[in-house]
């Protein structure tokens, strides 16, 4: 699972975990995440482009990622989705958060590689995955260098897939299968 900063360290709302407490929980409990595949759609809802965040990881390697992040204590899943989309795509992205909580799939990121197609060396994270159309202007925020809009064919192509780590490339292909745009 590609790293996404979940929240600024300070100030932190009451009841959220300190960095140390989060580290302990990460080694003992599955953490609840959401993954969003941002898409552009035409009037008929057909996906015409997929938005991928471009980052440079700690090793100086370029990676591409979906929008991803933790669900906080006392936060609804739909509010977590909105928060992470606005955090990564900017305040005027106008994401269309799904009316129904049913995800298209559940991505299980294990610290041990190979248990599932997803992997997160830091933790066991279970992520509810949604395809989210965005209709507004998107600007990469914080640590992202760029937000690139690719066709489903480009996004599922070999070249882009190798730049996606932890199973995000796999999850993207599942999303494209779900919307009928798997190449």
Quick one: which of 54, 126, 148, 150 contacts its own copies (CB under 8 A)? 126
Q: How far apart are CA 35 and CA 132, in angstroms?
A: 10
Q: Is 24 helix (H, G, I), strand (E, B) or coil?
A: helix
Quick one: which of 15, 58, 60, 114 contacts its own copies (CB under 8 A)? 15
Based on the shown chain and the rule CB under 8 A, indicate whether residue 124 belongs to the binding site for its own copies. Answer: yes
Q: How far apart are CA 15 and CA 51, in angstroms?
A: 33
Q: Which of residues 93-112 bind its own copies (CB under 8 A)?
A: 96-106, 108, 110-112
For residue 2, the cross-strand partners are none
- Report the candidate in 54, 117, 49 with the shortest Cα–Cα distance to residue 88: 54
Q: Which of residues 51-80 bind its own copies (CB under 8 A)?
A: 71-79
DSSP letter at 39 equals E
Minimum CB–partner distance for residue 47 and its own copies (Å): 5
Based on the shown chain and the rule CB under 8 A, indicate whether residue 173 belongs to the binding site for its own copies. Answer: yes
- Which residue is it, tokens 């959401």? 34
Handedness of CA 11, 92, 126, 58 (dihedral sign): negative
Based on the shown chain and the rule CB under 8 A, indicate whether residue 9 belongs to the binding site for its own copies. Answer: no
Residues in the site for its own copies, rule: CB under 8 A? Answer: 15-17, 21, 24-25, 27-32, 39, 41, 43-47, 71-79, 81-82, 96-106, 108, 110-112, 115-117, 124, 126, 128, 131, 133, 170, 173-174, 177-180, 182
């Amino acid at each position: 699972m590609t790293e996404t900063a979940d929240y600024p360290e300070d100030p932190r709302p009451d009841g959220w975990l300190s960095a140390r407490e989060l580290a302990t929980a990460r080694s003992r409990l599955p953490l609840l995440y959401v993954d969003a595949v941002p898409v552009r759609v035409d009037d008929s809802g057909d996906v015409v482009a997929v938005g991928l965040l471009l980052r440079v990881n700690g090793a100086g390697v370029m990676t591409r990622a979906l929008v991803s992040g933790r669900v906080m204590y006392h936060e609804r899943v739909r509010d977590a989705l909105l928060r992470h989309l606005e955090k990564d795509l900017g305040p005027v992205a106008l994401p269309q958060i799904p009316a129904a909580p049913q995800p298209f799939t559940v991505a299980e990121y294990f610290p041990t590689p190979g248990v599932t197609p997803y992997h997160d060396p830091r933790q066991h994270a279970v992520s509810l995955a949604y395809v989210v159309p965005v209709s507004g202007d998107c600007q990469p925020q914080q640590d992202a260098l760029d937000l690139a809009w690719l066709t489903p064919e480009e996004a599922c192509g070999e070249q882009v897939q190798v730049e996606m780590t932890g199973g995000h490339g796999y999850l993207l292909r599942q999303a494209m299968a779900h919307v009928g745009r798997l190449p």
